[in-house]
């Protein structure tokens, strides 16, 4: 059986990286296994749950559906890179304050989805919040604490 | 991840001509929102793929007097953000807004939605209701096909192995007096449709695009007087894990009643 | 400290992505493991073929023959093998294990194992199991039966003016924690077995692995990693996965990581038991209950797992918070040929309470009373007794709880408004409620048998560390136990630490199940802290000084039942639970007659839980439980095909998204429970119980058509609505 490999260059959380990898490897696996970004979680492997959400060139994507070749020359932000080390982003603060994280497995993706939402709608309506987070499934909270966290983060 | 990942090749063509030259051996992969799901499940048989998402010439909405044209790689997010589409083709904008979540909308493309050939896809009903045409390109040249005749059977298309779907165009100037898009899904977001209904009314002429009620996205052309009869005759739904044939049939008819009311 | 929204202990680790779950862990030289499962169904394993195409000599292959000890997962009956041998009882049962350093190659290998099975007859329904269409387990397909009798049911029916009968069904439900199951193990004869993983109950796994490896207790060590949700789904099945990872490690001599993907987690692991309940209720003309005869049956799947205990809880909750002199409840857990069902939040109670609260609405209608007035006439009061004869000693004012819930939900205004607007409206709106209770802690003498132990110890930094095996799975264990310790010791919350739940380090505080962590384990933390406080006060030293001079001060506490509690396992009479939480939930729905889609548009959850330890987390627990229960009621349907889950993807098994849920408005009443920490009772499972019947009652209010089955899909509603027109 053939075995394919390629070299991918990209910037992850501000650091330029170059790695050898099969071109069809999922961005999810490359981030977790080659770049120590284990805050990127796998929940379903089919783009349904959003636990693997990252920001790719500023846009929210499901890293489980992205072959790493599509990350060539891109800029990627994972939960580890949302705030400078030893500090918290205002969204992270809001999730802590409002009880937006329970088991924590959806939390990194949910926070990045919130960042993408607030980028587009800095003062989102309740409907915009519900729609903006609909691709990120949470089984613990029933979403109410998360909505509150988004509203708090939007207030600044 | 059930696939044996290193056994798959993925390459990035330099430009459209290069991409076409790689067909049919290297199959196109765009936003990945369908292909990667099969891959993850270990069900992707074909081994050689080309990633075309970076081909800028295939992305974006352009305006001409008679048509609005979407590059095949125009994403659902692009569609939602286009004020031109929102104003002139609101059903398509509505369809794009109902696909998956934000992350899926950022990656998934209109061309991908068409050539994945799922009978449950969200944009085809709107495209059918607007009588769209699709552009198919190969090294042999380009041709335009009426979208209504593109899907020829379950997962079968009027698309040669060396052709790439490169654009979709929507005719302008039709005097649509009423239109409606309704996706009845398994839930309000992140859903696959159980019935999807898009309709336009131009004078007495009604065009109804439907998904999930037949082996292919379905177009029913009718007048107000014979719409019920024609719709009923065209429906060929099935029972599956998401819904039942009886439900699909009745809901499609109910949505037509609502549209006609 | 109690009642304050202190920061979640592990919160920063979770919002920064630094929290370590089992999938995030690696060990040097680690192999990746996979499970090869029965592809067809019940049958005799004729042959296992390893097809060419992968370098088999590089793979570690484990079958039942490689098990050093007993081939059984120790739980209640020990009937479930670790790996099927000769005969397999159900589709997706584990048969072969594989491991290899290349995670992609091991998947290729999994596809090349062909398990050939000679089929044996199967049964897939409760009816077929009870009719013994085929005997697949024991002599009669019955894992367990219970019988609860209060008064004389015949006398009750004789006193009735009318009798209302009803049959109710509930479906299987997938827990759908967003983190799938997984384990990492090291294992060899010299060092024994060590397993890290996602789990609720480290000591259950510990107990299960001892006979499998024929090792003494000290040679098996189970360590919980951060766990991404459980809801009961990581109560018993993790023992199986831990055993598999450890068997591969044992044979290969290398660490093995075994992580399920979503499809495998859904087809193979346990779900909520499907159920059928039959009610016969005797009523007087003025709406008093004279007799409640209830038959409650659940489908346990192919092995016993925890079915008897699930059945027990469902049985005890089946007659609800009502006073009735004559009650008869008979229940059965039966075997079918589908993958075993198991623990899921509520544990039998959501099933029997669904039936009861639909039946109560139907009884109200039968006697011409409103649902609220009917319940008012039958509510249980202080000094009266439940179906098991448990006398309610605490203050109990369900009428007040009902009044407040109806007021918070604008029940009367909405009832009137909907009646007026529905006839002309294209959307039909309705409102409905359920009143119910949920017992906290293990049933009956369960806590006495468990003899849970909690420890606390001082550290050199001047902190106090809590030693328990109670796991944080998102529900707030770390935080509330720390609050209780801080309050008892008079220390800052930040000075409380938690030991990792590691069976090598912490005592057995019992499983993290049954809404027992706050009420039972929390009370033990309180008692241990009181002991530690005495040691420290007697020494006159600070925590840091004491630890420096004498080493860590330690105090332990062991479970003691509250005084006067008595339970008879033979008659199933007595004090079933130390305490109940009480609740009234109200749902408002909107039904679209064109599509038969139901939307819940408002939800009020009011409960009395003793004392709220952490208001934000308690609210979050209730909201999350209600969300799961809305899923149970309207969306979450397992599509069975010959005993196999045909929709084992998150795309096709439909849990609610943020766009599907109404505002969930949560309110608490407090009535401190004398034997809970700071007065707290358990709350974890309660919110799973009431939403489904409240929603179906609301749908009947909206449409004038009643439904008695969940999940209630638009297809089922449409069948009834459209066949009438």
Check residue B253 and give its pLDDT: 98
In chain B, the DSSP E strands lie at 9-11, 27-29, 48-51, 61-63, 67-71, 133-138, 141-146, 151-153, 156-157, 164-171, 178-185, 193-202, 205-211, 218-223
Sign of the Cα torsion C311, C316, C320, C326 reads positive
Are B219 and C691 contacting, i.e. CB atoms less than 8 angstroms apart? no
Q: How crowded is the C-beta side of C374, counted as CA atoms within 13 Å? A: 23
Residues of chain B with pLDDT > 90, as a percent, come to 99
Which alpha helices (H) appear in B98-197, and where do they start and end?
Answer: 102-107, 110-115, 123-129
Cβ neighbour number for residue C710 with a 10 Å cutoff = 30
In Å, the largest CA–CA distance within chain A is 56
Are A59 and A135 contacting, i.e. CB atoms less than 8 angstroms apart? no
Query: How sure is the predictor about A75, in pLDDT bands with cuts at 50, 70 and 90?
Result: very high
**pLDDT per residue over C322-350, tens digit each?**
999 999 999 999 999 999 999 999 999 99
Both tokens of A52, joined, read 């693997």
Which range (A36-45, A65-74, B170-179, C132-141) has the least confidence? B170-179
Cβ neighbour number for residue C558 with a 10 Å cutoff = 14
Contact C15 A102 (CB under 8 A): no
Q: Strand, coil or helix: what is B22?
A: helix
Q: Average pLDDT, stretch C430-452?
A: 95
Q: Which residues in C lie closer than 8 A to residue A13 (C-beta atoms)?
A: none
What's the CA gap between A79 and A107, in Å, rounded? 9
- CA distances (Å), C510 to each of B195, C506, C523, C556, C558, in order? 49, 11, 13, 14, 11
Contact C664 A45 (CB under 8 A): no
Q: Average pLDDT of chain B?
A: 97
Q: Average pLDDT of chain C?
A: 97
Cβ neighbour number for residue A151 with a 10 Å cutoff = 15
Which of B127, B179, B177, B176 has its CA nearest to residue B148?
B127
Check residue A2 and give its pLDDT: 85
In chain B, whose CA is at the least distance from the CA of A5? B6
Task: Say which residues have a Cβ less than 8 Å from residue C690's Cβ, sequence separation at least 6.
Answer: C353, C357, C434, C435, C436, C583, C584, C585, C605, C629
Q: Average pLDDT, stretch C434-438?
A: 98
Q: C544 pLDDT exceeds 80? A: yes
Q: Which residues in A lie closer than 8 A to residue B30 (C-beta atoms)?
A: none
Residues of chain C with pLDDT > 90, as a percent, come to 99
Q: B178 pLDDT exceeds 80? A: yes
B12 touching chain A per CB within 8 A? yes
Are B111 and B165 contacting, i.e. CB atoms less than 8 angstroms apart? yes
A99 touching chain B per CB within 8 A? no
State the best of C12, C15, C650 to mutate against chain A, taking most chain A CBs within 10 Å. Answer: C15
In chain A, whose CA is at the least distance from the CA of B53? A70
In chain B, whose CA is at the least distance from the CA of A27? B36
CA C545 to chain centre: 44
Residue with structure tokens 């549209």? B259
For residue B248, give how far its alpha carbon lies from the nearest alpha carbon of chain A (Å).
24
C457 touching chain A per CB within 8 A? no
What's the CA gap between C167 and C151, in Å, rounded? 23
In chain C, whose CA is at the least distance from the CA of A102? C474
- CA distances (Å), C130 to each of B251, C167, C299, in order? 38, 16, 10
A135 touching chain B per CB within 8 A? yes
Are C168 and C354 contacting, i.e. CB atoms less than 8 angstroms apart? yes
Query: How sure is the predictor about A156, in pLDDT bands with cuts at 50, 70 and 90?
Result: confident
What's the CA gap between A37 and C17, in Å, rounded? 8
For residue C259, give how far its alpha carbon lies from the nearest alpha carbon of chain B (Å).
10
What's the CA gap between C644 and C546, in Å, rounded? 60
**pLDDT per residue over C490-501, tens digit each?**
999 999 999 999
**pLDDT per residue over B39-49, tens digit each?**
999 999 999 99
B257 touching chain C per CB within 8 A? yes
**pLDDT per residue over C173-222, tens digit each?**
999 999 999 999 999 999 999 999 999 999 999 999 999 999 999 999 99
Q: Which residues in B lie closer than 8 A to residue A59 (C-beta atoms)?
A: 77, 106
Q: C576 pLDDT exceeds 90? A: yes
- CA distances (Å), C22 to each of B144, C196, C226, in order? 53, 7, 7
Task: Say which residues have a Cβ less than 8 Å from residue B238's Cβ, sequence separation at least 6.
Answer: B245
Check residue B174 and give its pLDDT: 84
Check residue C724 and give its pLDDT: 53
What's the CA gap between C562 and B49, in Å, rounded? 68
**pLDDT per residue over B205-240, tens digit each?**
999 999 999 999 999 999 999 999 999 999 999 999
Q: C725 pLDDT exceeds 80? A: no
Contact B102 A70 (CB under 8 A): no
State the best of C5, C602, C620 to mutate against chain A, taking most chain A CBs within 10 Å. Answer: C620
Q: For residues C98-116, b (16+ Cβ closer than 10 Å) or e, as one string?
A: bbbebbbbbbbbbeebebe
- CA distances (Å), C667 to each of A139, C670, C687, in order? 21, 10, 12
- With a CB-CB cutoff of 8 Å, which residues 164-183 of chain B face chain A? none
C723 touching chain A per CB within 8 A? no
Helix (H) or strand (E) holding C170: strand C162-170
A4 touching chain B per CB within 8 A? yes
Q: Which residues in A lie closer than 8 A to residue B32 (C-beta atoms)?
A: 65-67, 70
B82 touching chain C per CB within 8 A? no
What's the CA gap between C351 and C274, in Å, rounded? 8
Q: Strand, coil or helix: what is C23?
A: helix
Nearest to A69 among B7, B10, B101 (CB): B10
- Beta-strand relationship, C289-301 and C327-335: parallel
Q: Which residues in C lie closer than 8 A to residue B243 (C-beta atoms)?
A: 715
Check residue C238 and give its pLDDT: 98
- With a CB-CB cutoff of 8 Å, which residues 537-596 of chain C face chain A? none
For residue B218, give how far its alpha carbon lies from the nearest alpha carbon of chain A (Å).
26
C617 touching chain A per CB within 8 A? yes
Residues of chain C with pLDDT > 70, as a percent, come to 100
In C346-385, the DSSP E strands lie at none
- CA distances (Å), B57 to each of B33, B54, B161, C101, C222, in order? 21, 9, 21, 43, 57
B255 touching chain C per CB within 8 A? yes
Both tokens of C366, joined, read 């039968």
Nearest to C651 among B192, B247, B255 (CB): B192
Beta bridge partners of A7: A20
- With a CB-CB cutoff of 8 Å, which residues 6-35 of chain A face chain B? 22-26, 29
**pLDDT per residue over C450-478, tens digit each?**
999 999 999 999 999 999 999 999 999 99
Task: Say which residues have a Cβ less than 8 Å from residue C538's Cβ, sequence separation at least 6.
Answer: none
Q: Helix axis angle, A90-98 relative to A107-120, nearest 10°? A: 120
Check residue C633 and give its pLDDT: 98
Task: Classify residue B86 as exposed, middle or buried by CB count within 10 Å of its CB (0-12, 13-18, 19+).
Answer: middle
DSSP letters, B215-258, are SS-EEEEEETTTHHHHHHHH------SS--HHHHHHHHHHHHHH
For residue B220, give how far its alpha carbon lies from the nearest alpha carbon of chain A (Å).
31
Residue with structure tokens 């024991």? C138
Contact B4 C105 (CB under 8 A): yes
Q: Which residues in C lie closer than 8 A to residue B39 (C-beta atoms)?
A: none
Both tokens of C86, joined, read 């000769």
For residue C491, give how far its alpha carbon lies from the nearest alpha carbon of chain B (Å).
46
Both tokens of A128, joined, read 């915009």
Peptide bond before residue C711 is cis, with ω within 30 degrees of 0: yes
Task: Say which residues have a Cβ less than 8 Å from residue C247's Cβ, sequence separation at least 6.
Answer: C62, C66, C67, C82, C83, C97, C187, C212
What's the CA gap between C150 and C8, in Å, rounded? 45
Query: How sure is the predictor about A54, in pLDDT bands with cuts at 50, 70 and 90?
Result: very high
**pLDDT per residue over C601-645, tens digit each?**
999 999 999 999 999 999 999 999 999 999 999 999 999 999 999
Contact A145 C659 (CB under 8 A): no
What's the CA gap between C571 and C578, in Å, rounded? 18
C180 touching chain A per CB within 8 A? yes
Helix (H) or strand (E) holding C289: strand C289-301
Which alpha helices (H) appear in C257-297, and where do they start and end?
Answer: 262-268
Q: C482 pLDDT exceeds 90? A: yes
State the best of A30, A105, A138 to mutate against chain C, taking most chain C CBs within 10 Å. Answer: A105
Helix (H) or strand (E) holding C597: strand C597-608
What's the CA gap between C271 and C351, in Å, rounded? 13
What's the CA gap between C627 and A144, in Å, rounded? 10
Contact A62 B189 (CB under 8 A): no
What's the CA gap between B11 and B51, in Å, rounded? 6
Nearest to C595 among B187, B189, B254 (CB): B254
Nearest to C594 among B2, B246, B258 (CB): B258
Neighbours of chain C (3+ CB pairs under 8 A): A, B
Both tokens of C385, joined, read 């007794």
Cβ neighbour number for residue B156 with a 10 Å cutoff = 11
């Amino acid at each position: 059986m053939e075995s394919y490999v390629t070299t991918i260059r990209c910037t992850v959380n501000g650091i330029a990286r170059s790695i050898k990898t099969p071109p069809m490897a999922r961005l999810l696996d490359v981030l977790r296994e080659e770049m120590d970004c284990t805050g990127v979680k796998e929940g379903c492997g089919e783009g349904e749950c959003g636990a693997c959400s990252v920001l790719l060139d500023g846009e929210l994507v499901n890293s489980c559906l992205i072959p790493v070749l599509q990350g060539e020359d891109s800029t990627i932000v994972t939960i580890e890179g949302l705030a400078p080390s030893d500090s918290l982003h205002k969204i992270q603060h809001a999730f802590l304050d409002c009880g937006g994280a329970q088991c924590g497995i959806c939390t990194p993706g949910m926070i990045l989805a919130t960042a993408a939402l607030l980028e587009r709608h800095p003062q989102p309506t309740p409907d915009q919040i519900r729609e903006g987070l609909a691709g990120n499934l949470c089984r613990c909270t029933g979403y109410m604490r998360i909505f509150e966290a988004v509203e708090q983060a939007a207030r600044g | 991840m059930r696939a044996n990942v290193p056994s798959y090749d993925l390459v990035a063509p330099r430009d459209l001509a290069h991409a076409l030259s790689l067909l049919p051996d290297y199959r196109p992969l765009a936003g990945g929102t369908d292909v990667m799901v099969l891959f993850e499940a270990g069900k992707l048989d074909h081994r050689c793929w080309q990633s075309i998402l970076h081909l800028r010439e295939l992305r974006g909405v352009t305006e001409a007097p008679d048509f609005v044209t979407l590059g095949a790689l125009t994403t659902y997010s692009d569609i939602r953000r286009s004020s031109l589409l929102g104003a002139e083709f609101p059903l398509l904008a509505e369809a794009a807004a109902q696909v998956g979540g934000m992350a899926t909308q950022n990656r998934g493309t209109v061309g991908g939605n068409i050539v994945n050939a799922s009978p449950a896809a969200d944009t085809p009903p709107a495209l059918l209701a607007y009588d769209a045409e699709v552009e198919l390109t190969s090294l042999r040249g380009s041709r335009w096909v009426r979208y209504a005749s593109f899907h020829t059977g379950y997962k079968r298309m009027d698309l040669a192995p060396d052709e790439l779907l490169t654009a979709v165009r929507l005719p302008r100037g039709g005097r649509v007096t009423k239109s409606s898009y309704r996706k009845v899904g398994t839930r309000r977001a992140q859903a696959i449709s159980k019935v999807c209904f898009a309709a336009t009314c131009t004078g007495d002429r009604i065009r109804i695009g439907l998904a999930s009620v037949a082996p292919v996205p379905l177009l029913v052309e009718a007048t107000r007087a014979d719409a019920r009869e024609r719709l009923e005759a065209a429906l060929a739904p099935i029972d599956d894990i998401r819904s039942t044939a009886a439900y699909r049939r009745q809901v499609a008819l109910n949505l037509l009643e609502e549209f006609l009311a | 400290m109690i009642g304050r929204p202190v920061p979640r202990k592990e919160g920063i680790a979770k919002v920064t992505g630094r929290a370590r779950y089992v999938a995030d862990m690696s060990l040097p030289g680690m192999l990746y493991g996979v499970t090869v499962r029965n592809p067809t169904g019940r049958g005799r394993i004729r042959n296992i073929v390893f097809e060419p195409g992968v370098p088999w000599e590089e793979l570690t292959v484990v079958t039942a023959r490689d098990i050093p000890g007993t081939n059984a997962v120790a739980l209640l009956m020990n009937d479930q093998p670790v790996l099927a041998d000769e005969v397999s009882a159900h589709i997706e049962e584990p048969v072969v294990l594989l491991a290899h350093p290349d995670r992609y190659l091991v998947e290729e290998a999994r596809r090349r194992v062909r398990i050939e099975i000679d089929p044996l007859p199967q049964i897939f329904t409760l009816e077929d199991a009870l009719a013994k269409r085929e005997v697949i387990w024991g002599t009669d397909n019955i894992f367990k039966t219970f019988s609860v009798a209060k008064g004389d049911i015949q006398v009750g029916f004789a006193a009735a003016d009318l009798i209302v009968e009803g049959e109710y069904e509930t479906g299987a439900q997938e827990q759908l924690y967003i983190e799938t199951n997984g384990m990492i193990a090291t294992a060899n004869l010299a060092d024994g077995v060590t397993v890290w993983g996602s789990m609720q109950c480290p000591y259950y796994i510990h107990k299960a692995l001892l006979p499998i490896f024929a090792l003494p207790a000290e040679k098996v060590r189970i360590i919980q990693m951060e766990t991404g949700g459980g809801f009961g789904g990581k109560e018993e099945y993790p023992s199986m996965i831990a055993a598999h990872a450890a068997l591969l490690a044992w044979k290969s001599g290398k660490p093995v990581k075994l992580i399920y993907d979503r499809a495998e987690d859904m087809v193979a692991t346990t779900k909520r038991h499907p159920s059928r309940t039959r009610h016969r209720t005797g009523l007087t003309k003025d709406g008093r209950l004279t007799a409640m005869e209830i038959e409650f049956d659940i489908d346990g799947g192919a092995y016993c797992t925890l079915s008897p205990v699930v059945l027990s809880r469902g049985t005890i909750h089946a007659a609800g918070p009502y006073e009735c002199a004559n009650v008869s409840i008979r229940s059965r857990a039966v075997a079918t040929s589908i993958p075993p069902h198991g623990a899921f939040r509520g544990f039998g109670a959501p099933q029997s309470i669904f039936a009861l609260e639909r039946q109560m609405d139907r009884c109200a209608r039968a006697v011409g009373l409103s649902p609220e007035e009917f319940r008012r006439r039958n509510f249980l009061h202080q000094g009266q007794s439940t179906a098991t004869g448990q006398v309610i000693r605490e203050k109990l004012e369900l009428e007040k709880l009902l009044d407040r819930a109806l007021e918070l939900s604008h029940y009367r205004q909405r009832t009137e408004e909907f009646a007026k607007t529905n006839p002309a409206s294209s959307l039909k709106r309705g409102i409905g409620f359920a009143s119910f209770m949920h017992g906290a802690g293990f049933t009956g003498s369960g806590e006495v048998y468990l003899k849970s132990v909690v420890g606390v110890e001082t550290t050199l930094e001047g902190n106090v560390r809590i030693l328990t095996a109670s796991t944080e799975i998102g529900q707030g264990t770390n935080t509330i136990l720390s609050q209780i310790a801080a309050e008892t010791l008079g220390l800052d919350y930040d000075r409380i630490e938690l030991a990792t739940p590691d069976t090598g380090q912490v005592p057995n505080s019992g499983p993290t199940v049954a809404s027992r962590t706050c009420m039972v384990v929390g009370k033990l933390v309180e008692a241990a802290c009181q002991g530690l406080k005495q040691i420290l006060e007697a020494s006159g030293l600070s925590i840091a000084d004491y630890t420096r001079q004498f080493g860590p001060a330690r105090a332990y506490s062991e479970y003691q039942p509250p005084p006067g509690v008595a339970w008879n396992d033979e008659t199933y009479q007595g004090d079933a639970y130390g305490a109940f939480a009480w609740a009234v939930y109200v749902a408002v729905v909107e039904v679209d007659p064109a599509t038969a889609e139901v939307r819940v548009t408002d939800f009020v959850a009011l409960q009395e839980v003793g004392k709220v330890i952490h208001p934000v987390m308690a609210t979050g627990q209730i909201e999350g439980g209600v969300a799961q229960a809305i899923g149970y009621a309207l969306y979450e349907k397992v599509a069975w095909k010959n005993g196999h889950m045909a929709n084992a993807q998150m795309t096709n098994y439909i849990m609610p998204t943020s766009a599907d849920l109404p505002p969930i408005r949560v309110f608490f009443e407090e009535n401190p429970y004398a034997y809970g920490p700071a007065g707290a009772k358990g709350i974890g499972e309660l919110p799973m119980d009431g939403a489904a019947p409240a929603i179906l009652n609301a749908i009947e209010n909206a449409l004038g058509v009643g439904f008695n089955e969940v999940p209630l899909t638009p297809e089922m509603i449409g069948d009834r609505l459209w066949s009438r027109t």
